[in-house]
Amino acid sequence: SSDHNDTTSLEELKENINSFYLINMSTLVFLMQCGFAFLEAGCVRSKNAINIIMKNMMDCLVAAIAYSAVGMLFDWQVLVIF
């Protein structure tokens, strides 16, 4: 009985570490998008800065929709190609 509890708690720990890592890395990716937006806005004229910011926001939106449409199928192993 004790071995079962140790195995269960180890599996829960692994799952929690994976979730923590995934959330932190996805946060860093979105912060990188902010950095790219600042870099690109600094490289263009001020009248075009809004267009650059909107392009970056659309990039995040399209990526989120694509992940919702396709990526979750791979994540939940509903669609297995390999």
**CA 54 to CA 60: how far, in whole Å?**
10
pLDDT, tens digit, for every residue of 61-82?
998 898 888 877 877 766 656 5
The SS3 of residue 33 is helix
Whole-prediction pTM: 0.61
55, two tokens: 């392009």
Nearest Cα neighbor of 30 from 74, 77, 64, 76 is: 64
pLDDT, tens digit, for every residue of 4-37?
677 778 889 998 999 899 899 989 988 998 899 9
